[in-house]
Amino acid sequence: MSAPILPGATVGVLGSGQLGRMFAIAARRMGYRVHTFSPDYDTPTGQVADVEVRASYDDLDAVRGFARRTDVVTFEFENVSYACTEAVAEVVPVRPHGSVLHTTQHRRREKTFLSSKGFPVAPFAVVECAAQLEDALETIGRPAVLKSAGFGYDGKGQVKITAESGLEEAFAKAGGQEAVLEAFIDFDREVSVVAARSLDGTFAHYGVVENEHANHILDVTTAPADVPPEVTAEAIRITRSILEELEVVGVLCVEFFLTRQGKLLVNELAPRPHNSGHFTFDASLTSQFEQQLRAVCGLPLGSTDLLRPAAMANLLGDMWSNGCPDWASLCALPDLKLHLYGKAEPRPGRKMGHLTAMAATAPEAARRVRHARALLSGAVLPSPAPLG
C-alpha cells in the first residue's frame, strides 16, 4: 500500500464549489495546503484555498501543471471530464480514481453498472433519440421519468412522462440527446448513505438519513432516518458493496428510494461528499469532508459517531428576494449552525448556504432547522420546544 500523504502536503481539488470549500476548511485545519482548479475565479473553494488556478478542464496542459504542484488530487463534483482526471493521474494519484467518476457521471453507465452487478434499481431503458422513446415506454410503462444521460443534477434534464405527454417535446426538454427512461417510483421516502473507503479497504458510514426535496433540490436532511433496523442494515450493506465493486478510495453517497413495500432501490451515486452529509460538519465526530481528506491521503478513517441527532436545511438564493436575511437574529438561536458559501450572486434555486440544527431527537432537530429558516424568510412556523 502507498505511504500516507501527511499534513504539510498539498491536496488538489478539481472543482471550486461549496463542497470543495468545506473540504478545504477541514484540510487546512489538519495542516494541509489546498489548491483548487476550475474555470472560475473568487470561488467558494478559492476563497479558503492556498492557491486558486483558473483554467478550463479541457486544457490538459494546465491540468498537468496544476497537478505538479500537488501531492494528491480529488474532485468535488462530477462534471469534470475523464480525460482531465487521466491527465492528473500521469503526475499524481487521483482519488477516487477517474474510472469511478467515469461511471457515475453518466446515467447510462451508472445504471448499467448497478444493474449488471445485481444492485436494486428501478426498471430502465436507454433512449438515444426521440424515435426510441415510444418503444421504451412500451417496455417501461407510464408514468415514467426521462433523464438526460450526462451532466444532470438537482432535477436538471429530467422530465416526467404521463399519458398526456408529447414525446418529441419530452425528449427535447430532457436535453435532446442520449437519455435514460426510468419507471416512475411511487416511493415512501428518499434516503441516502454517505460512506467512505480507505486505501486498505476499510469502510465507514454515517448511517441512513432521510431527504426531503423541493423542486427537485434537496431541502431538508434528517439524521438519523426513521426507518426499520432491517432497512438501515440493507442500505449500509448495499452501499458497502457498491464502494467495493467500484474500488472507491474516498467518500461516496448512495441515494435510495424506499418503496411503500419497504424495498430499497438505488437512485443515484455521487462519488464525493454530498449535500445530504453536510450535517456531519457539526454533528459527527469526523465530518464527511475530513473523511474524504483522510481517505485520499491514505490515513486511517475517523469515527463517524453522531454526537447528537441533527437536521440540515439548504438556503437557496430565493431567500434574498426581499434583501439580505437577518443573520444576527438567526445566530441568536441555540443549537443552530450557519454555513454560507461565499457566493456573491444569490439566484433562485442556487445553493447559497445551509443551516444545521441539533436536538435530543431527529424530529425535533428537523423542527428547529425549519423554524430557523422560516424566521429568515419572514414566514411563521410554530416555535420548537424549548431546549431541555
Is residue 12 within 8 Å of residue 35, measured between CB atoms?
yes
For residue 152, the model assigns a pLDDT of 57
Rounded average pLDDT over 228-238:
98
Q: Report pLDDT digits (tens) over 47-73.
A: 999 999 999 999 999 999 999 999 999
Q: Is 238 inside any structural domain? A: yes
For residue 64, the model assigns a pLDDT of 98
Q: Is 118 inside any structural domain? A: no
- Comparing 344 with 238, the larger pLDDT belongs to 238
Is residue 31 within 8 Å of residue 98, measured between CB atoms?
no
263 with 310, same domain? yes
- The pLDDT confidence band at residue 5, using thresholds 50, 70 and 90, is very high
- CATH code: domain of residue 162: 3.30.1490.20
- Number of other CB atoms surrounding residue 198 within 10 Å: 22
- CATH code: domain of residue 280: 3.30.470.20
pLDDT > 60? residue 244: yes
Q: Is 161 inside any structural domain? A: yes
Is residue 199 within 8 Å of residue 139, measured between CB atoms?
no
Write out the residue range of the structural domain in which residue 265 sits.
Answer: 187-377
Phi, psi of 114 (to 5 degrees): -60, -45
- Comparing 175 with 295, the larger pLDDT belongs to 295
For residue 381, the model assigns a pLDDT of 55
224: preceding bond cis by omega (within 30 degrees): yes
**Residue 296: partners with Cβ closer than 8 Å, 6 or more residues away:** 5, 11, 72, 74, 93, 95, 249, 250
Look at the chain and count its residues: 388
d(CA 75, CA 78): 8
| Closest CA relative to residue 149, chosen from 117, 185, 105, 112 | 105
Q: Is 352 inside any structural domain? A: yes
Q: Strand pairing of 51-54 and 33-38?
A: parallel
Q: Is 68 inside any structural domain? A: yes
Q: Is 102 inside any structural domain? A: no
For residue 158, the model assigns a pLDDT of 87
d(CA 57, CA 43): 15
pLDDT > 80? residue 119: yes
The sign of the dihedral angle between the CA atoms of 187, 191, 197, 202 is negative
- The pLDDT confidence band at residue 149, using thresholds 50, 70 and 90, is confident
- The pLDDT confidence band at residue 388, using thresholds 50, 70 and 90, is very low
Mean pLDDT of the chain: 94
The amino acid present at 334, given as its one-letter code, is: P
201 with 177, same domain? no
- Is 189 exposed, middle or buried (CB count within 10 Å of its CB: 0-12, 13-18, 19+)? middle
236 with 309, same domain? yes
Rounded average pLDDT over 370-374:
94
- CATH code: domain of residue 55: 3.40.50.20
- Grid cell, residue 115, equals 444493474
Q: Is 113 inside any structural domain? A: no
127 with 254, same domain? no
173 with 193, same domain? no
Residue 279 carries which DSSP code? T
For residue 1, the model assigns a pLDDT of 67
Spell 113-143 as b/e; 16+ CB within 10 A means b. bbeeeebebbebbebeebebbeebbeebeee
- The pLDDT confidence band at residue 233, using thresholds 50, 70 and 90, is very high
Residue owning grid cell 428537523: 366
**Of 135, 166, 183, the domain-final residue:** 183
Rounded average pLDDT over 302-308:
98
Residue 375 region, left (φ>0) first, then alpha (ψ -120 to 50), else beta? alpha
Q: Is 110 inside any structural domain? A: no
Q: Report pLDDT digits (tens) over 182-225.
A: 999 989 999 999 999 999 999 999 999 999 999 989 999 999 99
- The pLDDT confidence band at residue 335, using thresholds 50, 70 and 90, is confident
216 with 269, same domain? yes
d(CA 6, CA 248): 20
Q: Does the pTM exceed 0.75?
A: yes
**Of 183, 198, 221, the domain-final residue:** 183
Phi, psi of 351 (to 5 degrees): -75, 110
d(CA 387, CA 381): 17
Domain tally for the chain? 3
Specify which residues 160 forms β-bridges with.
145
